[in-house]
Amino acid sequence: MLKRNQLIGANFSFQHHPLRWTVEKLSAMGFGQMELWGIAPHLDLFHENHARLAEVKAILDDNGMAVRCFTPEQVLYPINIASGDRGYREASIERFLRAADISAELGARYLFLTPGRGFECESRQTAWANSIQSINRIAAHARSLGVCCLLEPLQRLESNIVTNADALESFWHALDGGDIDIVLDLVAMATADDSVGGYFERFGNRIAHVHVVDGTPAGHLVWGEGSLPLDDYLGQLGRLGFAGTLTFEPFGNGSYALDPVSAWRRSLQAIAPHIHETDKE
């Protein structure tokens, strides 16, 4: 069975609320760690500066909140580390080198990465090579700062490079270094017809983080609002000895952002039977 201290908070769905309010609410829900989504107005890669970072650190410290991983927005924002446009790609890499700096300053263990996407009218091999080269540069800089990286595959509408566990395994083995860990997103897994067991066969204890979300199979919904067998998925994670962290990533159609606390509480109630509350820190 999973432990309560493996479940961490995140600011997903809180983007229309101030960061201080968000962290206060997460703390009140019992979280002492979080995945920090790098979204405006909380801490994005286009408006951060020394003063803003100091303010974020003060908010976290005031609420006893540690950052487990920093996850800059990289799917919707104009950042694409695999772009076929070299200037655009280089600018994106520069943003992520700075993201590694931010991760280190926040004391985060991980910087969260996704593969990006290439031009749909160009070869996948070109996009693949660009993504490998970009991630190697970012990971090397993060490594020099004592920060590890997480790697998450994307759904096909989000990327044309790594969209299933087979591609993720090949891509992962092609990267330099041995310190890049894996993210298991349950919706991305389901939409690719992959499985919890299949992920563990490929990556074992290198699976360091899980996004617990419901879907049909897509959607990134609050638990219970989709059709995925999350009880079974969580049971498998427990039986397979998953020792990393988990968090919720509710996006849906955007309505969760109107009342993110309610969305998170519904997911907390649903996951409660699957975790040892006595292990709460």
Which structural domain, as residue segments, surrounds residue 221? 2-276
The per-residue pLDDT of the chain, averaged, comes to 96
Would you place residue 120 in the very low, low, confident or very high pLDDT band (cuts 50, 70, 90)?
A: very high
Burial of 215 (0-12, 13-18, 19+ CB in 10 A): buried
The answer to whether residue 251 is domain-embedded is yes
Note the Cα 143 to chain centre separation in Å.
18
pLDDT at 123: 95
Average pLDDT over residues 105-115: 98
pLDDT at 177: 87
The answer to whether residue 253 is domain-embedded is yes
pTM above 0.75, yes or no: yes
The answer to whether residue 281 is domain-embedded is no
CB 208 within 8 A of CB 198: no
The answer to whether residue 233 is domain-embedded is yes
CATH of the domain at 109: 3.20.20.150
- Between CA 126 and CA 195 the distance in angstroms is 28
**Residue 191, pLDDT above cutoff 90:** yes
CB 75 within 8 A of CB 33: no
pLDDT at 276: 86
Strands 9-10 and 148-151: unpaired
**Residue 280, pLDDT above cutoff 80:** no
- Between CA 275 and CA 279 the distance in angstroms is 8
- For the record, the structure tokens of 219 come out as 């959607």
pLDDT at 281: 43
The answer to whether residue 23 is domain-embedded is yes
Cα four-point dihedral sign 264, 269, 273, 277: positive
**Residue 166, pLDDT above cutoff 80:** yes
Residue of 269, 272, 267, 274 lying closest to 225 (CA atoms): 267
Number of domains present in the structure of the chain: 1
Average pLDDT over residues 148-171: 97
**Helices (DSSP H) in the chain: which residue ranges?**
19-28, 50-62, 86-106, 124-144, 165-174, 186-191, 196-203, 230-239, 260-271
The answer to whether residue 126 is domain-embedded is yes
Average pLDDT over residues 207-234: 97
Angstrom distances, CA of residue 44 to CA of 51, 96, 123, 135, 181: 13, 11, 31, 19, 23
